[in-house]
Structure 1
Amino acid sequence: MLTPEEWVRQHVVHYLTGHLGYPRGLLALERGLRYNQRQKRTDLLALDPEGKPLLLVECKAASVPITAAVAQQATTYNQTIGAPLLLLTNGLVHYCWRVDFEKRTNERLEEIPPFVVAVQL
C-alpha cells in the first residue's frame, strides 16, 4: 500500500511523463544526497538530456500544507543539487519556481514547464 506521500509522488511522475513530456528514463526517485554531514533523499529529480539536474520535486502528503518550512527544506536540498526548477506539491497545491543561482533569485512560475521548454531555460 502506498503512503500518502508516495501517492502524491506517483501522481507527479504520471503528470510529468504523461502530460509534460518528461522522459521516464530521466526521472530519479529518492536519489541520495549529503547535506550537513547527513544523508538525505530527494523525492523526485528530473534530469536534462545530459544527466544534469533539471527539476527538483518535493512531495508532501495531501494533509501536509506547503509552508515556508517546506519551501526552506526544498531550497536547502537544491543548494546541493543545483536544479534550475523547483516544485513543491502536496497533490492539491503546487508551487513551481525557476532558480537563478548566479543572480541568487527565484521566479515563481504559473505552471510547471513542459520538458522541451524546461531544457531551454
Structure 2
Amino acid sequence: MYVFCLIRKKYYLLTKEEFVRQQIIYYLIKNRGYPVNEIYVEFHYAFSNMKTRLDIIVIKNNRPFIIVECKSPEGNISYKYFDQIMKYYLRFKSQYLVITNGMKNIIFEMKTSGIELLKKIPTNN
C-alpha cells in the first residue's frame, strides 16, 4: 500500500513510520495552520562529516521553527530520541522540537531560560 505525500508530491510505501509522518504533516497543515510550502520532509543535511536527515522541519520566515522526529507507533519514546532531536537543535536552533510515534507527542519549546514542555504544537500565527 502507498500513500501520497502532500509535501514531496509523490507516492511512498506506507510503512509504520511513514504513516506517523503523514499523520503529523496533516495535523500541521489542517489543525495548526502551517502552509505546505513551509514544511520540508526528509530534509537532508551534513553535520560533523556525517550525512543525515530530519523527518520534518518547518521553516518560518527563512528560519527553522519546528523540527519533528517521527517514530513507529510500536516504539516507546525514549531518552535516545531526545538526544537525537537535541543534536538537530544544536545544528538548526529551531524554537520547537517534537518527538512523535503517532500515539504520543512530546513537544518542547526552546527558550533562553530553558526547555518548556507543551501540550500542543503551536499554531501558525
Report the TM-score when normalising by structure 1: 0.89
How many residues in Structure 1 have an aligned counterpart in Structure 2?
Answer: 113
Q: Do residues 2 (structure 1) and 14 (structure 2) align? A: yes
Which structure: greater helix fraction?
1
Specify the SS of the correspondent of 2:121.
coil
The equivalent residue for 1:92 is 103
Question: Out of 32, 35, 45, which is 1:23 matched to?
Answer: 35
Q: Which runs of 5+ in 2 are unaligned?
A: 1-12
Q: Which runs of 5+ in 1 are unaligned?
A: 117-121
Report the TM-score when normalising by structure 2: 0.86
Return the alpha-carbon distance in structure 2 between the equivalents of residues 104 and 71 of structure 1.
19
The Cα RMSD (Å) is 1.1
Instruction: Give how far 1:35 is off.
Output: 2.2
The equivalent residue for 2:5 is none
Return the alpha-carbon distance in structure 1 between the equivalents of residues 119 and 19 of structure 2.
23
Question: Out of 69, 85, 101, which is 2:80 matched to?
Answer: 69
Instruction: Give how far 1:111 is off.
Output: 1.2
Structure 1 runs (4+) deviating above 6 angstroms are none
**1:35-50 alignment, distance < 5 Å:** 35-48=47-60, 50=61
Instruction: Give how far 1:67 is off.
Output: 0.5
Specify the SS of the correspondent of 1:34.
strand
Percentage identity across paired residues of the two chains: 27
Which structure: greater strand fraction?
2
